[in-house]
């Protein structure tokens, strides 16, 4: 295989008429990285992939593979493979023929094609069914034919657009593991589009979280989860997602609190980023599992428990403080009584402050650390 490339998107933009589907994104993907483009339907993931592969021309900006622009280069000359979600396998041809088709069109020598088919079939686990018709294959095998057909062309960059979205839950998990294995063996730069956070976290070493044509954060799974750079990232990752509360800072004597009407959370001084003044509209974020039951002085907030939902080893509590509604995730043994008040705290490092207008994070990002530390 050719060496894995570094991919750079510089100010990449795509307008459809007056609508901006991809809004001047910048992204640097290192050679050998596995990157998930994660975001809700319509955020511009497929349009981004289509520009990289050459199916759409950018309105402006540049795409560089190993420092060289590929804008204007025809798709077949970019050496970039794309696997679609509907794996469009030719059902009238055997699996072998499906795999060899691309090389035959390129008039490669027969012996070379035979070797390549065997090698790729082994890699994607199809050696046993090479002479079968795709009609008798399972959906996971069909998906692997789709991937194998792309891999055989030895692309230096492999793009996968929701490759597992047509598979049932159990198969998705199995295919996820196979894709991970494939990536480890194949070792190429891989970009994977998904709207499923579990898929993104389990496959990628970096995640680009997209919304409304913009990349809100490009970071490791741990950091996008533990230190979201934008309220969109905070609310898109996690189940239940991060609690986000609108309010402002108030200072009473030396004490600092985050408040909205009668609702207030006492804040440790170290949560406050430089230059954030009182009275500015802010959003405070705390993950449900970061809330801990606390007594007396240690408590940061008092909330009324409105609902308790047992979830096996854990329970989810719905909590109310003034107009804020929060979710808390507690161990099953925690005493939680609907209607009662609960004193809670959270570690300063697990509290995020965002600008109320733009949603952008105000606390500086800390160096890499696991979210569960």
d(CA 47, CA 274): 38
SS3 370: coil
Rg of the chain, C-alpha, whole Å: 25
Q: Is 41 in the site for ligand ATP (CB under 6 A)?
A: yes
> According to CB under 6 A, which one of 47, 100, 189, 231 is a site residue for ligand ATP?
47
Site string for ligand ATP, 150-189 (x = CB under 6 A): ----------------------------------------
The piece of 25-33, 39-47, 133-141, 145-153 that touches ligand ATP (CB under 6 A) is 39-47
58 sits near ligand ATP (criterion: CB under 6 A): no
Can residue 260 be called a binding residue for ligand ATP (CB under 6 A)?
no
Binding of ligand ATP at residue 361 (CB under 6 A)?
no
Query: Residue 176 or residue 287: which is nearer to ligand ATP going by CB?
Result: 176
Give the three-state DSSP class for 179.
helix
Alpha carbons 299 and 22: distance in angstroms, whole number: 44
Does 43 participate in binding ligand ATP (rule CB under 6 A)? yes
Beta carbons within 10 angstroms of residue 68's beta carbon: 9
Position 345 contacts ligand ATP (CB under 6 A):
no
Distance CA 301, CA 362 (A): 22
Pairwise CA distance, residues 35 & 58, whole Å: 21
Query: According to CB under 6 A, which one of 4, 9, 12, 21 is a site residue for ligand ATP?
Result: 21
**Closer residue to ligand ATP, CB minimum distance, 216 or 327:** 216
Pick from 1, 2, 3, 16 the residue near ligand ATP by CB under 6 A. Answer: 16
Q: What CA–CA distance (Å, rounded) separates 346 from 267?
A: 10
Cα 283 to Cα 231: distance, rounded to the nearest angstrom: 8
Which listed residue (4, 27, 35, 44) binds ligand ATP by CB under 6 A?
44
* Residue in 259, 206, 205, 214 with CA at minimum distance from that of residue 232: 214
Q: Is the dihedral of CA 68, 73, 79, 85 positive or negative?
A: positive
Q: From CA 368, how far away is CA 226, in angstroms rounded?
A: 10
Quote the least distance from Cβ 91 to ligand ATP, whole Å. Answer: 25
Considering only 1, 28, 42, 331, the residue that binds ligand ATP (CB under 6 A) is 42
Spatial separation of the C-alpha atoms in residues 92 and 211, rounded to whole Å: 40
Q: Please, which of residues 184-213 interact with ligand ATP by CB under 6 A?
A: 195
* Of residues 54 and 134, the one with the C-beta less far from ligand ATP: 54
Among 5, 12, 35, 39, binds ligand ATP (CB under 6 A): 39
- Of 34, 29, 23, which Cα lies nearest the Cα of 64? 29
Can you tell me which of 9, 12, 25, 45 binds ligand ATP, judged by CB under 6 A?
Answer: 45
Which residue stretch of 13-21, 27-35, 240-248, 334-342 sits at the interface with ligand ATP (rule: CB under 6 A)?
13-21
| Of 315, 299, 307, the residue nearest 338 (C-alpha) | 307
Strand pairing report for 243-252 and 282-286: antiparallel
Residues near ligand ATP, by CB under 6 A: 16, 19, 21, 39, 41-47, 195
């Amino acid at each position: 295989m050719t060496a894995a490339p570094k991919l750079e998107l510089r100010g990449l933009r795509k307008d459809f008429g007056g609508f901006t589907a991809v809004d001047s994104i910048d992204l640097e993907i290192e050679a050998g990285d596995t990157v998930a483009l994660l975001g809700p339907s319509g955020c511009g993931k497929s349009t981004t992939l289509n520009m990289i592969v050459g199916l759409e021309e950018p309105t402006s900006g540049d795409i560089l593979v190993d420092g060289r622009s590929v804008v204007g280069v025809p798709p077949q000359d970019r050496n970039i493979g794309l696997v679609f979600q509907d794996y469009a396998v030719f059902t009238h041809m055997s699996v072998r023929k499906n795999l060899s088709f691309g090389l035959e069109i390129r008039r490669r020598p027969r012996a070379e094609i035979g070797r390549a088919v065997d090698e790729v079939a082994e890699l994607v686990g199809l050696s046993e069914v090479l002479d079968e018709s795709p009609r008798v294959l399972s959906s996971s095998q069909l998906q692997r034919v789709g991937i194998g057909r792309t891999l055989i062309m030895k692309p230096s960059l492999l793009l996968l657009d929701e490759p597992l979205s047509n598979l049932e839950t159990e198969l998705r998990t199995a295919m996820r593991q196979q894709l991970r294995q494939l990536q480890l063996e194949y070792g190429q730069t891989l970009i994977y589009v998904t709207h499923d956070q579990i898929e993104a976290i389990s496959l990628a070493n970096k995640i680009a979280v997209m919304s409304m044509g913009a990349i809100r954060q490009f970071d490791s799974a741990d950091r996008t989860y533990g230190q979201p750079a934008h309220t969109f990232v905070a609310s898109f990752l996690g189940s239940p997602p991060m609690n986000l509360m609108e309010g402002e800072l108030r200072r009473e004597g030396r004490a600092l609190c985050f408040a909205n009407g009668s609702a207030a959370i006492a804040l440790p001084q170290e949560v406050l980023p430089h230059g954030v003044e009182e009275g500015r509209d802010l959003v405070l974020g705390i993950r449900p599992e970061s809330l801990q039951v606390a007594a007396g002085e240690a408590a940061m907030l008092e909330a009324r428990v409105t609902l308790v939902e047992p979830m096996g080893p854990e329970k989810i509590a719905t909590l109310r403080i003034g107009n804020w509604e929060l979710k808390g995730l507690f161990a099953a043994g925690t005493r939680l009584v609907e209607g009662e008040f609960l004193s809670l705290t959270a570690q300063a490092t697990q509290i995020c402050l965002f600008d109320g207008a733009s949603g952008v994070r105000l606390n500086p990002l800390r160096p890499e650390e696991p979210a569960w530390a």
